Amino acid sequence: MAVQINPSILSADFARLAEEAKAVEGADWLHVDVMDNHFVPNLTLGVPVVESLARATDIPLDCHLMIEDADRWAPQYVEAGAGSVTFHAEAAAAPIRLAREIRAKGARASMALKPATPIEPYEDLLPELDMLLIMTVEPGFGGQAFLDLMLPKIRRTRELISKHGLELWLQVDGGVSASTIERCAEAGADVFVAGSAVYGAADPAQAVRALRTQAETVSAAAAWACGH
């Protein structure tokens, strides 16, 4: 299980997005939080900004759509250049059809769960996805405190992924930092979104490297424990 670190540009300077992407060289994906002021009480950016950002950076874009009517909008983010598109389970009328459409258009299909949404009703849907995102804060804002009570859900999701023998990536988003990333990795997450912990650091690229080292150490120890 390879560790991936995805800085969230929610905590970057929106007037300098191309430079902010360069500041996190070495990151696996750039996490782009799209908010519509309906699904969440905040407003960020949309398709035209994603199009420009995709042209401005070589880092692939991981678009996290916190928007209503995901069925209508998500495919447009693939066309805008996103390599991975995450829709919320709570905002999709037909998640299987939507995941298939995202994949057919050439991107990785991912589904997110708000903290109060359980994973169990979605077990049969997991093979349709390339990634599952477990929110570890209420979506809407960066800089919130990590919700420890999400750790059992991360664990249960990792068990379901193993039970079905899937290649699915397991992403965590919200309050991920030097003081919480090890707990997430230990619970079974392998893709880590970090906004304030990266862009709030004096050297964002160094913050990405440090988070990666922490997560890799834990996941190597977990792999060793499983294999013996």
Ligand X SMILES: O=C(CO)[C@H](O)[C@H](O)COP(=O)(O)O
Catalytic residue annotation: 33, 173
136 binds, among ligand X, Co ion, none (CB under 5 to 8 A by kind): none
Report the alpha-carbon distance of residue 50 to residue 180 in Å, rounded. 29
Which residue number is nearest to Co ion in terms of Cβ?
A: 64
What's the closest the beta carbon of residue 89 comes to ligand X, in angstroms?
15
**Is residue 224 within a helix (H) or strand (E), and if so which, with residue range?**
helix 204-227
28 binds, among ligand X, Co ion, none (CB under 5 to 8 A by kind): none
How many CA atoms does the CB half-sphere of 82 hold within 13 Å?
A: 30
Distances (CA, A) of 136 to 8, 57, 148, 219: 14, 27, 8, 19
Member of 30, 53, 193, 218 binding ligand X (CB under 6 A) = 193
User: Based on CB atoms, which residue is closest to ligand X, 16 or 100?
Assistant: 16
81 binds, among Co ion, ligand X, none (CB under 5 to 8 A by kind): none
- Cβ contacts of 16 within 8 Å, gap of 6 or more: none
Give the residue carrying structure tokens 């922490």. Answer: 214
Cβ proximity of 168 and 188 under 8 Å? no
Report the alpha-carbon distance of residue 136 to residue 214 in Å, rounded. 18
Q: Binding to ligand X (CB under 6 A): which residues in 108-137?
A: 137
The site for ligand X, by CB under 6 A, has a size of 23
- Contact between 196 and ligand X by CB under 6 A: the answer reads yes
Report the alpha-carbon distance of residue 40 to residue 36 in Å, rounded. 7
Member of 23, 64, 80, 150 binding ligand X (CB under 6 A) = 64
User: Based on CB atoms, which residue is closest to Co ion, 190 or 225?
Assistant: 190
Cβ proximity of 122 and 98 under 8 Å? no
143 is in an annotated binding site: yes
Nearest residue to 174 (alpha-carbon basis) of 128, 143, 202 = 143
Member of 91, 111, 194, 207 binding ligand X (CB under 6 A) = 194
162 is in an annotated binding site: no
Pairing of strands 4-7, 84-88: unpaired
Known binding residues for substrate: 8, 64, 140-143, 173-175, 195-196
Known binding residues: 8, 31, 33, 64, 140-143, 173-175, 195-196
Q: What is the contact surface with ligand X in residues (CB under 6 A)? A: 8, 10-11, 31, 33, 64, 66, 137, 139-144, 173-176, 193-197
